[in-house]
Amino acid sequence: RFLAIWAQISQAFAAAPSTVYFELLNEPTDADMDALNRLYAQALQIIRRNNPTRAVIMGGNGWNAIDTLGDVRFPNDPYLVATYHDYGPHEFTHQGASWEDNPPPLGRKWGSGEDIAELRGTIAQASAFKQRTGLPVFVGEFGVIGKVPTAERAKWIRARRIAMEQAGLSWCVWDFAAAFPSYDKKRERWITPVKDALVGR
């Protein structure tokens, strides 16, 4: 079924501009990595029939955790992009997350020496992978739940974004106007501190 879906997507978007990327599977969880790597390879072969130079994004297990990126077997293909998602530390970014069985409590702030060390460690891990493999690395998601005070969210986002850019990593914030908002739908305007943290002001 998975391969059939990709066959349809590949055909439907064969004429799309090069700015359209494919991501094989978002946030695989508790997957058998050998099976996942075989599935990735099969799907990539299908995609290449109609999209020989399309950029294809691939990530690891555990919701695209940085720690599992090295477990992905990237085929010999010059148009691949590695990805991971960055919500560290989870105790800060997911405070009060209603979808979790035991969400971290509200009130956690960010910016301690331990927090900075965690950020540097994540970036160092991504940079080492990038240097070792030669693959571009895309941080496919990063963000802070809207239950955290806006100033605290902006501080984390700014620090993360600057560190990513200094390391040559591309990124995409999560999200637009849902649980981790950058935009206020009711007021129909950007959340200014978050926007400023993203665009470098």
Per-run averaged pLDDT (10 residues), the chain, 201 residues: 97 98 94 92 97 97 95 96 98 96 96 98 98 97 98 98 97 97 97 96 64
Q: Indicate the DSSP class of residue 110.
A: -
Alpha carbon distance 83, 58 (integer Å): 6
* pLDDT tens digits for range 166-198: 999 999 999 999 999 999 999 999 999 999 999
| Among 28, 157, 29, residue whose Cα is nearest residue 92 | 157
Residues 6 or more apart whose Cβ sits within 8 Å of residue 85: 27, 59, 63, 64, 65, 139, 140, 141, 142, 174
What pLDDT score does 31 carry?
Answer: 78
Query: Which helix (DSSP H) or strand (DSSP E) does residue 4 occupy?
Result: helix 2-12
Alpha carbon distance 155, 131 (integer Å): 28
What pLDDT score does 34 carry?
Answer: 94
